[in-house]
């Protein structure tokens, strides 16, 4: 392959699963990504580069065409809401849910709830569809603290095992979305690099079950 292809992956807990899938189609980083501070890595496939980004930045890089492809959580895609990319494949990794959660013993609640979340757009959409008015408080992490401290009545957050909720005396209340990691592809790159990208999508489809 002489054409350069760049795939943006997310640092953090899904990175290992993302690399495992790529290894199954014969693409492996030429150095250990977990022990390096670098952000761009060459791979065993000539011209195929990996870029390691924060999750929320993956769709931005793909939309702008800096990365041709990306592996991005559906939570991030729903929140980002871009249209410069296709989502051709559910990679079936990073499976979790976005849930509404609250204190185990909530006690009486006001009619209009305060909801803490980093998924502001998704949360707005969810309650708007139900016709329920809420006040949303944007947080960047440690969401579980919000109901415990009285900052918010409930949270909308990622739940995977449920251990974090449980450890903080919270319980899941309602499911907002089912989440997994998707392959995304820049729309123009799919046209101009079709002969490289299409076989890759087919290969990945073959190893994701």
Q: How far is the CB of 156 from ligand PRP (least distance, A)?
A: 10
List binders of ligand PRP among 55-114 (CB under 6 A): none
Q: How far is the CB of 1 from ligand PRP (least distance, A)?
A: 34
Counting contacts by CB under 6 A, is residue 141 touching ligand PRP? yes
Cβ-based nearer residue to ligand PRP, 116 or 134: 116
Q: Which of 135, 160, 174, 202 binds ligand PRP (CB under 6 A)?
A: 160
Counting contacts by CB under 6 A, is residue 164 touching ligand PRP? yes
Counting contacts by CB under 6 A, is residue 159 touching ligand PRP? yes
Q: Which of 63, 68, 75, 157 binds ligand PRP (CB under 6 A)?
A: 157
DSSP the chain: --S-EEEEEE-STTHHHHHHHHHHTT--BSS-STT---SEEEBSSTTEEEEEE-GGGHHHHHHTTSSSEEEEEHHHHHHH---SEEEEEE---S-EEEEEEEESS--S--SSEEEEES-HHHHHHHHHHHT--EEEEE-SS-TTHHHHHTS-SEEEEEESSSHHHHHTTEEEEEEEEEE-EEEEEEHHHHHHTHHHHHHHHHHHHHH--
Which residues contribute to the site for ligand PRP (CB under 6 A)?
141, 143, 157-164
């Amino acid at each position: 392959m002489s054409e350069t292809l760049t795939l943006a992956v997310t640092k953090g807990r899904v990175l290992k699963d993302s690399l495992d899938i790529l290894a199954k189609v014969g693409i492996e980083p030429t150095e250990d990504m977990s022990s390096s501070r670098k952000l761009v890595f060459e791979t065993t496939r000539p011209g195929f580069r990996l870029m390691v980004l924060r999750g929320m930045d993956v769709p931005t890089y793909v939309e702008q065409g800096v990365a041709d492809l990306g592996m991005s959580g559906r939570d991030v895609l729903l929140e980002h809401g871009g249209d410069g990319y296709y989502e051709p494949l559910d990679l079936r990794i990073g499976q979790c849910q976005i849930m509404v959660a609250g204190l185990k013993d909530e006690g009486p609640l006001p009619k209009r709830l305060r909801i803490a979340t980093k998924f502001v757009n998704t949360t707005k959409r969810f309650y708007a569809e139900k016709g329920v008015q809420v006040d949303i408080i944007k947080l960047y992490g440690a969401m579980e603290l919000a109901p415990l401290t009285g900052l918010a009545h409930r949270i909308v957050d990622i739940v995977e095992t449920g251990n974090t909720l449980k450890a903080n005396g919270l319980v899941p209340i309602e499911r907002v979305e089912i989440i997994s990691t998707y392959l995304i592809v820049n729309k123009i790159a799919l046209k101009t690099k079709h002969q490289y990208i299409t076989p890759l999508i087919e290969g990945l489809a073959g190893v994701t079950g």
